[in-house]
Each structure stands twice: as structure tokens, then as C-alpha cells.
Structure 1
């Protein structure tokens, strides 16, 4: 039986140009976890956030969401109930900029977005080339990164 994941990308604020590419990247690659296939459905439609709809998902991923209005009160209540019943939640990129008027959501994330820091430069170094996340990178490699940090 597959793991069903809802990919939710609604915005009520800034709309990131990367949303279409991010959605495609997530959905286009076959994914299995412990030999269980992962199936993604995606939407930006807040009416999907009902008890009946959410109960069929094993996980919900918020992707680049921003703004207060991405869920109405019914949707917020359904999401909170689903999380309280053990639902798995992932927030990607600016999910912490969404629902900042919703206390349970802030507790779930651990923080809210506050401001954009200044653009800074940093040197990234591969210190453990054997870790699965760094195996594709050059051994003992390093590069300069310029971003909000």
C-alpha cells in the first residue's frame, strides 16, 4: 500500500517563481521509503482541507506557502486535528511565512518567519564525504555561496 502525500502550494502573499519547478521535481521522481512507494497529489485549493479529505493522507507537505489566507478556519481546524491524530507534516522553504496568525501552526514549526536577513557570503566545505547527503559532492570540495543567511 503506498504512502499518500498531499503537496500544498497555496500562497496568499509572495509567490515564488520556483513553485512550478519545485512541484515537478518532487512529483516526477519515483520515491520509495522502506520499500513503500510514495504517491503525491498536489493542490493550491484550500477547500481540500477538511477532515474527510485529509484522513487519506499519510503526510502533508507545505511548499513555498506564504501569507495568512492560505487556509480558512475550517481548513486550519482540519489541519490541526489531522496533526494531533499523528499526521506527518513537512514545511519547505517559506512555510514559516504562512499562517502566522495561527498558534498551533507556529508550535508545529517551532517558529515563524520574521524578516529577510541581509545577503551574505559563506564558504561551504564538505567535511564528511561519506554521508549520504554529501556523497554526490566533490571530496574535500568547497565553494562560495551568496544568499540570505
Structure 2
């Protein structure tokens, strides 16, 4: 997808993450590395106006019902025209009453244990978002549960090792990061990114960089 801008949407209608400003800053920097300007907004009308021609829409820690009908139409048109979508952290806790959005993200947020360190198991290193990571990556996050595992409908890139933290309830099959092309364009979701510190972590920033490269089709295999 060839374009010169990303749209970063950060509206919340539920819990609001203190890490959103750090996330916007990281995405501006990552976009600049690729010659992409960033339109950051919490206004669904601005989102709808900026989506046509955008390389990707990034939903950064959005929560609840945040889209108007025109914004929904614009997001769907963007994706069905081959645009990219990157959902970060609580993007999976957004627009619960819109089934199409649930398909776009891949799974629905269903709670989390306390913030704590744990281990991310990288299942697939053949992707720019995970190629740089070790097979077992220690990270501090909220270890989101989902109403159901998306495995079988998406390409799972990384999962949680629930034996390394307390409060897990999905068991052996606990995807955390995945991608797919089931709604027209490319869609990538990472459940990580709760803390502001994460966006300054080089491994996590490289994770986001690879995700952006993939959804905008700028990864090496697509050049």
C-alpha cells in the first residue's frame, strides 16, 4: 500500500491508558523513519477524513464504543481497499457491538491479571515484527485474556507462557500477537504495550516497527 501517512486513533470510552502519549510519540518516530507522517486524533470525524489514501490505521489503546457510523464506514472501506490496520493493546477492547471490527482485530479482550513480568513465546520468527526477538522474551505487561483463541483464523506469531506469571486462564493456547488478511487488507494485532516504558524499549519498538512495515507492505519481502 503506497501512501505518505498513517492515522493513529486513540479515543477511549472506557479505561484510558497513561501510556498513550508515549505510544503516539513512538509511532511518530517510527513513521518518520519510513517517510510517513502521522495524523494522531481522538475525533472519529477526523479519522474518517484521514483514512482515504492512508497507508494504515493504528488503533492505539482505544477502549469502548469510539466510532460513529461514518467512521465505521471509512474504516471498513479503507481495509477492503487494501489498507493496513495495526491494533495495539486495548484495541481488542473496542467496538464490542460491531462484529466486523471483531473480525478485523481477531479476538475480543476479556480481562487480565495484575501487571507483572512474564514470558512471551515467539512461535513464528518469519515475520518482521518477531524476527528480532528471542524464542522466549521476558516482558512486563498485563497478559490479556480473550473470549476465544483466534488460532485457526489468524497467523499466530507469539503466545504467553502462563507458567511464568500468575493469573493466566487461557491455558496452553494463549495467543498474544497475530496477523491476518481476512478483511481485505493486512491486519496485525499485539496485546502488548500497557506501560509507557514499553514504548522506549528497543525490542518492543522494533516489534511495532516490524508490524508497521508489514501492514503497510514495507517489509523487506514486499519491497
TM-score, length basis structure 1: 0.74
> 1:39 maps to what in 2?
37
List, as ranges, runs of 4+ consecutive aligned residues in structure 1 with deviation greater than 4 Å.
118-121, 123-126, 141-147
Matched-pair contact (CA < 8 Å) for 1:49–1:74: no
Structure 1 residue 10: Cα displacement = 0.7
Q: Distance in 1 between matches of 2:9 and 2:109?
A: 18
Matched-pair contact (CA < 8 Å) for 1:124–1:145: no
Matched-pair contact (CA < 8 Å) for 2:7–2:47: no
Matched-pair contact (CA < 8 Å) for 1:66–1:98: yes
Structure with larger Rg? 1
Matched-pair contact (CA < 8 Å) for 1:60–1:89: yes
> 2:57 maps to what in 1?
60
Structure 1 residue 125: Cα displacement = 8.8
Unaligned residue ranges in structure 2 (runs of 5+)? 144-167, 169-223
Q: Which aligned pairs between 1:1-149 and structure 2 lie closer than 5 A?
A: 3-29=4-30, 30-32=32-34, 37-50=35-48, 52-68=49-65, 70-117=66-113, 122=118, 133-134=132-133, 145=140, 147-148=142-143, 149=168
Root-mean-square deviation (CA, aligned residues, Å) is 3.1
Distance 1:75 1:147, change over 3 A: closer
TM-score, length basis structure 2: 0.52
Unaligned residue ranges in structure 1 (runs of 5+)? none
Q: Distance in 2 between matches of 1:73 and 1:11?
A: 16
Q: Distance in 1 between matches of 2:73 and 2:121?
A: 43
Q: Distance in 1 between matches of 2:137 and 2:5?
A: 37
Q: In the comparison of the two structures, how many residue pairs are matched?
A: 136
